[in-house]
């Protein structure tokens, strides 16, 4: 083994007390992101370069950040939603490894999350359930209508801020994308990664005059069922509501 503490750390964290991972067994790595579901309508999102960056300083965003569970009736624009998706999961580069580099850090750059959106009030979008297609910066429309809002609210122990939000983000882990490299330890990294994503939503939301509420109090099975996830290979890790501030 090379006399390199960084290298030793990587080997130790990958293999100590572990079955060989998918990567160690030479299995191909899982896709960098899920493709759009077949047949789902796709909505292109405004590119980040087309938007004026918000004026709020990072200092002000950090200082002002507060959890909010009440939101104004004002909808989000599609550009604002696109900005929040970019800030939380936007793909900036695909490296030669290949791996994605995004606006948030991720263990081994595995970026194992898919973002589902419950849309209630976003200009140009019918209320319903969507999924962010990160590699093409598009939204896949999964289901329209009010039913999913009620189902997801009930699964989150009837937290009414979900029904009142302009949009609710649901981050679902694609477990193999992480454990392919890190084995069981990857579960820890999934939860750490989720925190980075949600914090960026809080801060970027502040810059758009929004409030955000992180949510982890939910019924795992009911919420995974609502999104059509099996709860093992794919499961919701973290949820956050967001909407414009009330005066």
Ligand X SMILES: Cc1cc2nc3c(=O)[nH]c(=O)nc-3n(C[C@H](O)[C@H](O)[C@H](O)COP(=O)(O)O)c2cc1C
Residue ranges that bind ligand X, judged by CB under 6 A:
66-67, 69, 159, 213-217
Pick the closer one to ligand X by CB: 195 or 228.
Answer: 195
Closest distance of CB 17 from ligand X, Å = 27
Residue 118 backbone phi and psi in degrees, to 5: -95, 110
Is residue 190 within 8 A of residue 237, CB to CB? The reply is: yes
- Before 98, cis peptide (omega within 30)? yes
Closest distance of CB 212 from ligand X, Å = 8
Pick the closer one to ligand X by CB: 88 or 141.
Answer: 88
Closest distance of CB 239 from ligand X, Å = 8
Closest distance of CB 87 from ligand X, Å = 17
Pick the closer one to ligand X by CB: 208 or 215.
Answer: 215
Instruction: For residue 44, give the H/E element and its range.
Output: strand 42-44
Closest distance of CB 13 from ligand X, Å = 24
| Coil, strand or helix at 215 | strand
CA-CA distance, 53 to 207, in Å (whole number)?
9
Residue 243 backbone phi and psi in degrees, to 5: -165, 170
Is residue 168 within 8 A of residue 117, CB to CB? The reply is: yes
| Coil, strand or helix at 165 | coil
| Short-list 217, 10, 28, 227, CA closest to 113 | 227
Closest distance of CB 52 from ligand X, Å = 27
Pick the closer one to ligand X by CB: 100 or 159.
Answer: 159
Pick the closer one to ligand X by CB: 176 or 206.
Answer: 206
- Chain centre distance of CA 151: 20
Pick the closer one to ligand X by CB: 180 or 238.
Answer: 238
Is residue 167 within 8 A of residue 81, CB to CB? The reply is: yes
């Amino acid at each position: 083994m090379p006399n390199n503490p960084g290298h030793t750390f990587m080997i130790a964290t990958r293999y100590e007390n572990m079955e060989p991972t998918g990567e160690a067994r030479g299995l191909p790595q899982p896709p960098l992101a899920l493709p759009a579901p077949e047949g789902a309508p796709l909505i292109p999102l405004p590119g980040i370069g087309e938007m004026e960056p918000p004026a709020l300083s990072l200092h002000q965003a950090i200082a002002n950040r507060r959890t909010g569970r009440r939101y104004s009736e004002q909808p989000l624009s599609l550009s604002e939603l696109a900005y929040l998706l970019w800030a939380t999961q936007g793909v900036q580069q695909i490296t030669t490894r290949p791996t994605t580099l995004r606006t948030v850090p991720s263990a081994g750059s595995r970026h194992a999350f898919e973002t589902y959106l419950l849309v209630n009030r976003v200009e140009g979008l019918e209320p319903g359930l969507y999924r962010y297609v990160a590699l093409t910066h598009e939204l896949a429309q999964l289901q329209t209508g009010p039913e999913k809002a009620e189902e997801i609210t009930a699964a989150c122990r009837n937290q009414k801020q979900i029904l009142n939000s302009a949009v609710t983000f649901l981050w679902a882990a694609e477990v193999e994308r992480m454990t392919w490299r890190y084995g069981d330890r990857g579960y820890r990294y999934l939860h750490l990664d989720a925190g980075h994503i949600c914090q960026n939503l809080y801060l970027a939301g502040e810059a758009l005059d929004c409030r955000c509420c992180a949510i982890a109090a939910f019924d795992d099975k009911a919420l995974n069922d609502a999104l059509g996830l099996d709860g093992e290979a794919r499961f919701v890790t973290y949820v956050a509501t967001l909407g414009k501030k009330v005066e």
